[in-house]
Amino acid sequence: MLTVKQNLLETIHGGNPDRFVNQYEFLKIIYGSPFFDLHNGPVLEPGVINAKNAWGITFSWPEGLPGEFPVHDEEHLVLKDVTQWRDHVHAPALDYTDEEWAPYIKQVQEVDRDQYFVASLMWPGIFEQLHHFMDIPQTMMNFYEEPEAMKELINYLADWEVEYADVVCAKLHPDAVFHHDDWGTQRSTFISPQMFEEFLLPAYKRIYKRYRDNGVELIVHHSDSYAATLVPYMIEMGIDIWQGVMTSNNIPELIQKYGKQITFMGGIDSAQVDFPGWTREKVRQEVRRACDENGKLYFIPSASQGLDCSTFPGVYEAISEEIDAYSKEVFK
């Protein structure tokens, strides 16, 4: 029987896996760093209102919602005019003591690296950070009305993340990076492929190259959205696994066209299984459909949600159990 790590590599390289890769099983994500826990917090929980992070962005998590959201009223909006971003956007420092790093280094040391990939976690991504500083309509308009200022701000954010990658890799020596940045809705990308290529591709090529230069083997990017038209750019920027790929993307077609260059992780839309009153039968149905439609290679069955958890208790575990059960039937 292959190890978890070996089975992942067989799957993404077109080899001979002996079972489906089961959701996030191959990643041991280090949930935090001194930046996130000491300076970018607080870590929000339901009911926390108007908490500010190190970038000056205010977040709230009202009861009953699945996560935190930036507060964009007149009082809390960080950036009202993108041409004045230098006056309002200030990157946090990254100089932490050995004592601050110690808990995270300990987490890494406890991972069996023959079995799993140690993964550094980064969120939000460049695009999400833009609309955290501004609101969504303003951000979209600025791509058209203030392209030079937007490119300057994107470069500034990328410069900071390149520095962050150097620091994290020097301290934790991760095998993988798990990076969030949602690039679309369920139906379309937020910006056109041409605009994505102009504004975001150069930044991500720099960021992911720096991780590679620092020894990172596996780059996993989360975008639970439609982004099929961006796959060529994902490949160009160095993404190994697109996590969060939803069924609106025609995954079988993408695997046929790009499978030897990138792996697709998802195929189970979280909204279809992760809701009040969810049932084991619905989970089983979606797992088997996803596995049957997308096959054994270049595909990892997973909920589209961007972490190894679910909004409603028990859903993530049920998906994993059903994937394991179906593997025993399919791989004989």
The interaxial angle of helices 126-133 and 147-172, nearest 10 deg, is 120
The whole-angstrom separation of Cα 134 and Cα 84 is 12
pLDDT at 114 (0 to 100)? 95
Which token pair is 163? 């520095």
CA distance 206 to 147: 19
What is the pLDDT at residue 69? 87
Domain extent at residue 9: 4-46+78-330
Q: Which residues are 222's β-sheet partners? A: 180, 243
Examine residue 222 and state whether it is found in any structural domain, yes or no.
yes
Q: Tens of pLDDT along 168-220?
A: 999 999 999 999 999 999 999 999 999 999 999 999 999 999 999 999 999 99
Burial 269-298 (b: 16+ CB within 10 A, else e): bbebbbeeebeeeebbebbbebbeebebbb
φ, ψ (nearest 5 deg) of residue 120: -80, 140
Structural domain includes residue 53: no
**pLDDT tens per residue, range 284-330:** 999 999 999 999 999 999 999 999 999 899 999 999 999 999 999 99
- Is residue 215 a part of any domain in this protein? yes
- Count of structural domains, the chain: 1
Compute the distance between CA of residue 142 and CA of residue 157 in angstroms, rounded to an integer: 16
Residue 38 pLDDT level (bands cut at 50, 70, 90)? low
Average pLDDT over residues 127-155: 97
71 inside domain: no
CATH of the domain at 150: 3.20.20.210
Beta strands in the chain (DSSP E): 27-30, 51-52, 58-60, 69-70, 117-122, 176-180, 218-222, 241-245, 263-268, 299-303
Asked if the structure places residue 56 within a domain, the reply is: no
